[in-house]
Structure 1
Amino acid sequence: MNMQTKNKLEQFYRENVWEPVALGQALSLWSQQYRDNTAVTENGRQLTYGQLEIESGKIAQGFRCYGFKKGDKVVLQIPNSIEFIVIIFALFKAGIIPVMALPAQRKTEIKGIMEKSGARGYIIKDKYLGFDYKEMAREIVNKPEMDLKIIVIGHNDEFTSLKELKADRELYETVAMDHAEVGLFLLSGGTTGVPKLIPRRHTDYIYVAKQTAERCKLSQNSVYLAALPMAHNFPLGCPGVMGTLSAGGKIVICNVTSPDEIIPLIEEERVTITGLVPAMASMCIEFLELGEEYDLSSLEVIHVGGSVLDPYLAEKVEKTFNCKLQQIFGIAEGLICCTGLNDSDYARYHTQGRPISQYDEVLIVDEKGEEVPDGEYGELIVRGPYTIYGYYNLEEVNKVCISEECYFKTGDKARRLKDGNYQVAGRLTEMINRAGEKITPSEIEELLLKNELIEEVQVVGIKDKLLGERICAFILDDTKRMTLKDIRNYLIDRDVAAFKLPDQIVFVNSWPLTGVGKIDRNKLRELADGNL
């Protein structure tokens, strides 16, 4: 990466694009503007913007009194809740950097995230969906190399409770932060299975939230249902929680991402906008087709993103919910593309729209890095005011994924149409996108190869109408000594996240090979479809 080019870009963004505001300050500004508006509601409980400002300030003071310092990193692993929003802004106000872990991640991933980030703290819910996070925390802190402050929301008798941290004082002075400093870490799929850390700046995250809110026409009248886990970039800031707050709208918390929670909440809270991955959109449609009547007339827009959306499903979303669809394509590393509310049917159903910023520089390039003509597929690369220049503490990876001219190589196969819209066809790599979650096949393969009953294995993503892609493990074994349940239990015992567990296994007597002697993954995909 050419540092002179990077410095020129940074200077331009500072002078022309970025607001000199950090995320903790942003809430203060929004609370002044929308003080009495309802900011967030959950199961009958709600906070106004003014109350959210006060509550987050109290906890920010508690964090500082507890010994956290400006620049410390804290792994945040809690489900969708009012506490999630209060805590994240408390961390911003205290100058602490949250590392956004997903509720579904388990000990292997969390330990890796902590080691990579150098985290000093770990904030968890006591239990969620039957899983005991305190037990996992106990196992992690038993490691001698782990020196962590653990904070628990809910029932707790051994770690520090969130209630203990809340200060009595209502007034709290937000720690001064340079708006161009790192404000939070998002997670990306890693080549070893341990997620890469994505450093997002205060100012770039505010910028993308406001730009997507504007493209999606959010306002004080908007009621946004946070249906997906808010630790993901899509529901957190595209436009999600941050975009809704920037516009003065209301956030409705969905505790569990399932149709039987999502649909009733849309009716009860008069939701106007929500975001779903294609698999969940399909499941919501199937839920509605069961016949029970719901009044969803308040719904104006559904965002669908996280993986490629089939055009047939795109059209069905609009017809079923009687509202507009906006496709959102994005990467946690930066670039967000979005269709317009007034785009043609073709654009809304068949494309992922255009970049949200006039300063996004997007190229479609071939294997040599040369730009291809409109209409031809290649790799999408990008640089812009909210796209990163590299992952945290991964110098060798960054040499590969960042070009000399500071373009981030997404690994996505895409093309630009003549009208300026983009179509994304999937990944150029073998990474699996299961219901919006990214899984690296080699991680699962390495774990399975430690099982003495498995000598050779290939893990492949198979196209799936419900999940987008399902995980299939191909095992070289004609004795069929293991079942799918055996394999899933084996991985569960090794603290592997539930979304990484194989959905299907296929036994083969030999590997199908290409003409150059490599395993033919296309043939494996055909075998998987034939073994359903």
Structure 2
Amino acid sequence: MLEGCTTWPTERAERYRRDGLWRGESLVRLLADAARVHGPKTALVGGGRRLNYAELESGARRMAAGFRARGIAPDDRVVVQLPNTPDFVVVCFALFLVGAKPVFALPAHRSNEIRHLCELSGAVGYVFPGVVRGFDFPALARQMREDVASLRYLFVQGGDGDGQDAAGPARGGDAPVPLAEVDADPAGGGDFPVPDPSDVAFFLLSGGTTALPKLIPRTHDDYAYQVRAAGEASGLTDRDVYLATLPVEFNFTWGCPGVVGVLRAGGTVVFAEDPTPEHCFPLIEREGVTMTSVVPSVVQLWLEGAEWLEDDLSSLRLLQIGSAKLHRETAEQIEPAFGCRLQQVFGMAEGLCTFTRDGDPAETVLTTQGRPISAADEIKIVDEEDRELPAGGIGELLTRGPYTLQGYYRAPEHNAKAFTPDGFYRTGDLARLTEDGDLVIEGRIKDVVIRGGDKVSAAEVEGHLLAQPGVARAAVIPVPDQFLGERICAYLVAAEGVEPPSLPELKQALHDRGLAEFKLPDRVVYVEDLPLTGLGKIDKKALGALARGEALPETGAFIPVGEAVAR
């Protein structure tokens, strides 16, 4: 195991192998097996390219030989920041072949995050695009090379070498290498190392919005099992066509079952450049997409788009929605709007995934996040003293299992607080279990307003606000108050064609729904849109900055259009 990583306890590791969960299946072998069985079948579509399985596996091997020839060695960490294109898959599998460890970086990350990831991982390489939507990634790479002592190798996406001049000469006089030139005969440098299935394959990022991300080591064993179990829970077959809508670096897109799961099954992955309905709906019709995964903020846009776009979406069989609370009012619209089955998903880059299943009662699908994808997943809900709560009790979700991390990379002090003495991971999620054993996520422990000593779940209030006819989207945050400690502030996007309700009207409507008086919003601000994080979640950190009167982002993604304040 790579230094800085925490291994599974021996007894549990042996049990996972004995029970057939960990099969010694590396991700390298996963692709090789898929290429052998499905060689001429289309594997990847995107960026103007179509690659079959044989081409994907051959391309990954040639790129691996090219990386090796240019100095990338086993255990080297390489930050990979690419848009949704087949190149991302080829690069990652090429690095797996070399034995190097990709460190996933989101397309939205900039110098602060990339510097942090390079320094924390000790990265020797950085794979980046050229100029994308006006942002100069080669210039960012140049700055990172100057700032991070370990960073030696720069690779730029684009066969014509775009960005070389902007990036300038790298350390030692080397210019950034276009990915198209990272190519060599695999037979020229000897066999590639055989991966140890228990070793780290790559690093995912923690999804918090209040601090720089932590690195999550994922092993070949645990990730191969995750995609297999997730595939079974979603009914994945080789006939499926999966639309990668969210950033591919996101665990939801990469492996729930996502890109890797679809490749394992022999299906086809179609990459979307952005998640808007104007872009995704034509792809669904043209490629016969059968399943995709989105977050609630994206599905809101899709529901609006379905009312006026005329693309044929009849090929869709499954729409996975996860990563944030899906309120019932939205969930009820999915099947009528898209004619497909809804699968609610709770998952985290750290591990645990729960899915609703085909055949579950409608109430379960509409109101819960289902059951763990593995019988070996252990979950419990505990109070503030770590005492386990009965069904229906709301507390923190703890978990451990065959694909849940044992510790963040190079973070011993944080790990000491993030895990219980018996190895359960503290998720930070507020949750409860139904009598039938289904999980319901109620929000984040920190996503709570403490108003006059009363704890108010932001997600609960948001759900009631979204039930109002004049409200399209909602986000609730705390704002400081000298008397109550915190007050409840709701940022709302008004529904089109409906007069947005005033604060008194909202308070009366929520009161009529049975919401306690102390949970009613103290302040309402209507905005044109809500800011999103790189993972597509509502960025409450940015909303907090707006509430404090700080400068808005340059994008102008959300602009107050009026507000009603309690008097």
Partner residue of 2:544? 473
Q: 1 CA distance for matches of 2:11 and 2:489?
A: 41
Q: 2 CA distance for matches of 1:252 and 1:8?
A: 40
| 1:207 partner SS | helix
8 Å CA contact 1:304, 1:327 repeated in 2: yes
Offset of residue 193 of structure 1: 2.0
Q: AA paired with 1:261?
A: H
| 1:473 partner SS | helix
Q: 1 CA distance for matches of 2:491 and 2:399?
A: 27
| 1:413 partner SS | strand
**1:420–1:272 CA distance, 2 compared to 1 (3 A):** same
Partner residue of 2:14? 11
Q: 2 CA distance for matches of 1:463 and 1:213?
A: 37
Match of 1:282 among 283, 289, 300: 300
Residue 404 (structure 2) pairs with residue 339 (structure 1): no
Partner residue of 2:121? 117
**1:314–1:230 CA distance, 2 compared to 1 (3 A):** same
Residue 92 (structure 2) pairs with residue 100 (structure 1): no
8 Å CA contact 1:306, 1:330 repeated in 2: yes
Match of 2:440 among 423, 430, 436: 423
Partner residue of 2:515? none
Offset of residue 528 of structure 1: 7.6
Q: 1 CA distance for matches of 2:349 and 2:383?
A: 23
Partner residue of 1:242? 260
Q: Which has the higher contact order (CA 8 A, sep 6+)?
A: 1
Q: 1 CA distance for matches of 2:340 and 2:243?
A: 15
8 Å CA contact 1:473, 1:505 repeated in 2: no
Residue 565 (structure 2) pairs with residue 488 (structure 1): no
Q: 2 CA distance for matches of 1:388 and 1:428?
A: 20
Q: 1 CA distance for matches of 2:314 and 2:151?
A: 51
Offset of residue 152 of structure 1: 0.2
**1:220–1:229 CA distance, 2 compared to 1 (3 A):** same
Offset of residue 5 of structure 1: 8.8
1:206-285 equivalent positions in 2, closer than 5 A:
206-285=224-303
More displaced stretch, 117-126 vs 249-258: 249-258
| 1:381 partner SS | strand
**1:461–1:227 CA distance, 2 compared to 1 (3 A):** farther
Q: 1 CA distance for matches of 2:263 and 2:386?
A: 39
**1:464–1:400 CA distance, 2 compared to 1 (3 A):** farther
Q: 2 CA distance for matches of 1:56 and 1:292?
A: 38
Offset of residue 6 of structure 1: 2.4
TM-score scaled by length of structure 2 = 0.78
Q: AA paired with 1:14?
A: R
Offset of residue 156 of structure 1: 3.4
Q: 2 CA distance for matches of 1:247 and 1:164?
A: 30
8 Å CA contact 1:330, 1:336 repeated in 2: yes
Q: 2 CA distance for matches of 1:281 and 1:419?
A: 28
Residue 261 (structure 2) pairs with residue 196 (structure 1): no
Offset of residue 462 of structure 1: 5.0
Q: 1 CA distance for matches of 2:212 and 2:8?
A: 31
Q: Which blocks of at least 5 consecutive residues in structure 1 are unaligned? A: 435-440, 446-457, 490-497, 507-526
**1:528–1:204 CA distance, 2 compared to 1 (3 A):** farther
Q: 1 CA distance for matches of 2:274 and 2:177?
A: 26
TM-score scaled by length of structure 1 = 0.83
Q: AA paired with 1:175?
A: P
**1:427–1:476 CA distance, 2 compared to 1 (3 A):** closer
Match of 2:66 among 62, 65, 70: 62
Partner residue of 2:428? 411
Q: 1 CA distance for matches of 2:98 and 2:8?
A: 33
Q: Which blocks of at least 5 consecutive residues in structure 2 are unaligned? A: 1-5, 165-174, 449-457, 463-476, 481-485, 494-528, 531-536
Q: 1 CA distance for matches of 2:305 and 2:34?
A: 37
| 1:219 partner SS | coil
Partner residue of 1:384? 401
Partner residue of 1:394? 411
Residue 96 (structure 2) pairs with residue 78 (structure 1): no
Residue 392 (structure 2) pairs with residue 375 (structure 1): yes
Partner residue of 1:521? none
Q: 2 CA distance for matches of 1:4 and 1:302?
A: 35
**1:195–1:339 CA distance, 2 compared to 1 (3 A):** same
Residue 335 (structure 2) pairs with residue 318 (structure 1): yes
| 1:335 partner SS | strand
Partner residue of 1:205? 223
8 Å CA contact 2:244, 2:270 repeated in 1: yes
Q: 1 CA distance for matches of 2:488 and 2:116?
A: 24
Q: 1 CA distance for matches of 2:487 and 2:288?
A: 43
Q: 1 CA distance for matches of 2:230 and 2:182?
A: 34
1:176-191 equivalent positions in 2, closer than 5 A:
176-189=194-207
Offset of residue 176 of structure 1: 1.2
8 Å CA contact 1:473, 1:504 repeated in 2: no
1:28-50 C-alpha deviation (Å, 9 max, x unpaired): 11111222221111255211111
Partner residue of 1:33? 37
| 2:22 partner SS | coil
Give the aligned CA root-mean-square deviation in angstroms.
Answer: 3.0
Q: 1 CA distance for matches of 2:432 and 2:544?
A: 31
Superposition misfits of 4+ residues, deviation over 6 angstroms: 431-434, 458-461
